């Protein structure tokens, strides 16, 4: 089994299941596209602005599935303590080139455990949920729930329609059934990171642990 080093210095197991992202095989183009947007001064901070409104100053944040690090970088600029994890080595390298010194670890969400927390917020945006390995959605949600601190929350967002290549056709109803099974509840659902009304094109959720919900 592939292994990685956790933030605490010990080996952390990573999934051996091939993800939909790996099946798509477009990580290099993705990283270069966003690096180009950064270089051009484009606004790519929409998710980070919403995340920032959910947090006190100097909060501890996990960027789960950080890609090339744009959300992590934006939250660091806003004064938060951020840890980024990303299993795709190409994107990790891109993140470190685009944002020198960015605290990004080559790790999988499924390798998270309670000792990695606690976090005030876990950010899981940019279609991470629909690019997971098939059948691991509930496991990933449980892993993110396990690292939340007291009053901690999760910010999730992904395409419901017009999904990228190889992405999971994940409906809002299916996702909400999975998060309930993972011991999470919906605090808010919207259609954009600017909190427009919920729609069938894109889903944005703010989640928190359900009272008495599943924990493992």
Distance CA 73, CA 52 (A): 12
Tens digit of each residue's pLDDT, the chain (216 residues): 233 334 444 434 444 577 776 676 665 566 566 566 666 555 457 799 999 999 999 999 999 999 989 999 999 999 999 999 999 998 999 899 989 999 999 999 999 999 999 999 999 998 999 999 999 999 999 999 999 999 999 999 999 999 887 889 999 999 999 999 999 999 999 999 999 999 999 999 999 999 865 544
Sign of the CA dihedral 206, 177, 64, 114?
positive
Distance CA 29, CA 21 (A): 12
The structure's pTM equals: 0.84
Of 12, 11, 150, 132, the C-alpha closest to 64 is 132
Residue 151 · residue 56 · CB < 8 Å: no
């Amino acid at each position: 089994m592939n292994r990685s080093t956790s933030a605490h210095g010990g080996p952390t197991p990573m999934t051996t299941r091939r993800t939909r992202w790996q099946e798509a095989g477009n990580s290099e183009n993705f990283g270069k596209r966003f690096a180009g947007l950064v270089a051009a001064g484009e606004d790519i901070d929409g998710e980070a602005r919403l995340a920032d409104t959910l947090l006190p100053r100097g909060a501890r944040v996990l960027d789960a599935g950080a890609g090339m690090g744009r959300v992590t970088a934006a939250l660091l600029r806003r004064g938060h303590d951020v840890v980024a994890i990303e299993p795709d080595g190409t994107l990790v390298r891109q993140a470190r080139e685009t944002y020198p010194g960015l605290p990004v670890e080559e790790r999988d969400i499924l390798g998270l455990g309670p000792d990695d927390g606690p976090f005030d917020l876990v950010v899981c945006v940019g279609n991470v949920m629909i690019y997971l390995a098939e059948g691991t959605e509930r496991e990933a949600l449980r892993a993110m729930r396990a690292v939340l601190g007291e009053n901690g929350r999760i910010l999730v967002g992904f395409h419901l329609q017009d999904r990228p290549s190889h992405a999971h056709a994940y409906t809002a109803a299916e996702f909400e059934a999975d998060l309930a099974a993972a011991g999470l509840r919906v605090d808010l659902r919207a259609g954009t990171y600017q909190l427009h009304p919920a729609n069938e094109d894109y889903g944005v959720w703010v989640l928190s642990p359900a009272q008495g919900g599943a924990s493992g």
